[in-house]
Structure 1
């Protein structure tokens, strides 16, 4: 089983991004996803910067995958997508069907991101026939559903030709909108957002009237209010055929999280994995997403 690091979903200063990846290059992570997957207005790093950074990390022995936007609305965003598809070296994570179409036309292998709705083996097979060689399970699906999909894929005869990846740590990316909620919270229009996301490197927390953490606002993206953590479920993921466990970047304590997951994957920990009391794992157990289910 491999350990992957997803793209940075929050808006960080340029130097913070480079510092994160300088440190990550020394960490026991097998696969690194790079790029802007949320909002095209976030331009601390340009498209070529991401490609160059990816080539540097690949030279350090990491498998690098570039990530595309999950919501494409403008010709300029299509132009960026074409540049990513034509980078010549690195795989692309397709986060919308426009990217799937471009990659399929070019006969390039790709990763299907969690923003692509794959809820059964037939959908997975359709993507496989278009060039998909790895898929990330939609975050709202359960372990039981995943096992059923993989069993059906085996019966259809293509399961051994693809890799399965599960989002296992971080704020869950739940939904996308044409509106920017971070700008709206500051009474700013989207076209003049003043890049307020930079002030919230872990997103903007949103609580209910009962002060329960419900969501995290991240520009046009709505995320879970609490951190999803499937560390205790790694052994079960191995059993049902998961190939990669994905961590999502946060600005603090990622080295510790990487070490915990690496030890769990390699079987070098004490065999007892508990998640923090303020973490959640409900979706994996077909429960409400904000539930912490210790089993």
Structure 2
């Protein structure tokens, strides 16, 4: 019998108006998700929520029975951002997800446990072991690792391994740059971008000459064009060592998907099929050791139980 998988909701990668964020997380509070990550991970200029606002929202979600984790910026570019990072790490209430090694160093100095996000390079058991000694409690597997790599790392780590979380649904965060691609798209300088990201609640599509969605622009972040969907393989992910499956917030359908996944875990083999209507735009290639944009997930929930 497989141990119970838990569900997490990763930090919102997009820049949404405050009222929409508040409405979104009010719905999340009533969803079956176990862990909620809060915070700005892409651009420090996105200030609809400040650190104290995220903490206040975290208290509300904690009161609703959720485990709350505060997430840090992935690319730190200034002294002020380092100051914000320190405030986040010293919050004193919530576990912190480090998306940059600077955050790991700071939390190790403070002597507090932490989580590493998918942008932290952990590609072998030796690295995982070092971070474990520094206080790592949970790691989110780097996106491009496959099943064989994961099982190898966990087997070499042994029984004293941290919790393993896998990014299972959403646009993959692939790269970050000091340049803002959304600002350039609008022919604006980065320092005077007008916060145009808010006009694109799920990023800007980058298409090939043939019209295929290749990538997604999200400020300084580059994402996958297709939606990563490992959910049909959830039993295989658990068998490989996953403890938690992460879904990334999207403007529409996130809470419905959380309910569907919870129902699938409870034995409803058709739960996910009724929600995921974007089959042509999804991918899962990395899990199979292939190019990330490949797709294998025609496997049904019934097939995944065999």
Q: TM-score, normalised by structure 1?
A: 0.95
SS in 2 for 1:17: helix
Q: Is the 8 A contact 1:125 1:158 kept in 2?
A: no
Partner of 2:304: none
Partner of 2:106: 102
Of 36, 40, 50, which aligns to 1:32?
36
- Cα drift, residue 9 of structure 1: 0.3
Residues 191 and 271 of structure 1: is their aligned pair in 2 closer, same or farther, counting only changes over 3 Å?
Answer: closer
* In 1, Cα distance between equivalents of 2:259 and 2:55: 27
What does 1:25-64 correspond to in 2, within 5 Å? Answer: 25-64=29-68
Which ranges in structure 1 are unaligned for 5 or more consecutive residues?
A: none
Deviates more, 1:281-290 or 1:30-39: 281-290
**What is the alpha-carbon root mean square deviation over aligned residues?**
1.4
What does 1:72-221 correspond to in 2, within 5 Å? Answer: 72-154=76-158, 157-159=159-161, 162-221=162-221
Residues 236 and 194 of structure 1: is their aligned pair in 2 closer, same or farther, counting only changes over 3 Å?
Answer: same
Q: TM-score, normalised by structure 2?
A: 0.92
- Cα drift, residue 158 of structure 1: 2.1
* In 1, Cα distance between equivalents of 2:191 and 2:280: 39
For residues 4-62 of structure 1, give each alpha carbon's deviation from its aligned partner in whole angstroms, at most 9, with x where no partner exists: 00000000001000000000000000000000000000001111101111111112110
- Cα drift, residue 264 of structure 1: 2.4
* In 1, Cα distance between equivalents of 2:272 and 2:12: 29
* In 1, Cα distance between equivalents of 2:238 and 2:265: 9
- Cα drift, residue 272 of structure 1: 8.4
Deviates more, 1:5-14 or 1:268-277: 268-277
Which ranges in structure 2 are unaligned for 5 or more consecutive residues?
A: 300-306
Q: For this pair of structures, how many residues does the alignment match?
A: 291
Partner of 1:69: 73
Of 262, 284, 289, which aligns to 1:286?
289
